[in-house]
Amino acid sequence: MSSLYIELLYRPLFNGLVFFYTALPVHDLGVSIILLTMVIRVALTPFLWKGQKAQRALAALQPEIKKIQETFKNDKEKQGRAMMELYAKHRVNPFSGCLALIIQLPVLIALFQVFHKGFNPDELSYLYSFIQNPGSLNPLSFGVFDLSKGSIWVGAVAALTQYFQTRLTLPSTPPSKTKGDFSQILQNQALYLFPGLILLWSWSLPSALPLYWTVLNIIGIVQEMVVRRIGKSEVRIAK
């Protein structure tokens, strides 16, 4: 691992995990991961909300997008050019649906390294001087799951929560039937492909990683529901 990657991502995340692990009255790695995930989610919230805002802007353009698709249904080149002009006019990025996943990817990679190597006592040498050294990390969580090993059950929960969170944040308009609609292709990939990959990866990855993703998704679902409720309340007040 490069020194820059270690100092900017791996070491802070590893120290955060160990901090929560040692601070708990009962040392439980699962609870430590939940607390660390909450901190990460708060830190990423401004970027994630920006991506969701762009998705809503894209949803608002769906009537105009469908009109362009119908007008140029026999000329894909003109259709694509008109779509790009529409996106540029309204400053909307059609690839914004993947923004949240792209932002989280470096953190996810670093956490994979933390969960993959962190159970080795030698890794405790990466601790900051002010973090208590526990001597070792017990991977058994909630008295049931060994988070150092793969678990299809934890992976299934992670996949389901990913599906429902994506479903909540996607535009509520009917899916386009036009081939070559990049926004629709990306939405379908986010909705179906990624949860499927999570389920597949859960066989071989430490189940600590799907647990992190599950908690992250649950927080995202709650945030989205709160935002929607606030939005409905503002509309009722305006009326």
Domain map (residue ranges) of the chain: 3-238
What is the tens place of the pLDDT at every residue in 14-53?
A: 999 999 999 988 889 999 999 999 999 888 887 777 766 7
The pTM assigned to this predicted structure is: 0.74
Q: Residue 98 — very low, low, confident or very high, per pLDDT cuts 50/70/90?
A: low
Share of the chain above pLDDT 90, in %: 23
Residue 181 pLDDT more than 50? Answer: yes
Q: Residue 127 — very low, low, confident or very high, per pLDDT cuts 50/70/90?
A: very high
Q: How far is CA 229 from CA 13, 28, 49, 220, 236, in A?
A: 33, 35, 16, 14, 11
pLDDT for the residue numbered 19: 95
Q: Distance between alpha carbon 230 and the CA centroid of its chain, in Å?
A: 23
Q: Distance between alpha carbon 169 and the CA centroid of its chain, in Å?
A: 12
Distance CA 202, CA 198 (A): 6
pLDDT for the residue numbered 48: 73
Name 141's bridge partners: 145
- 5 sits in which H/E element: helix 3-5
Higher pLDDT, 147 or 95: 147
Structure tokens at 139: 């991977």
pLDDT (mean) for 79-107:
78
What is the tens place of the pLDDT at every residue in 131-166?
A: 999 998 888 888 788 898 888 888 899 989 988 887
Residue 239 pLDDT more than 70? Answer: no
pLDDT for the residue numbered 234: 47
Which residues touch 188 (CB under 8 Å, ≥6 apart)? 175
Residue 188 pLDDT more than 70? Answer: no
pLDDT for the residue numbered 16: 95
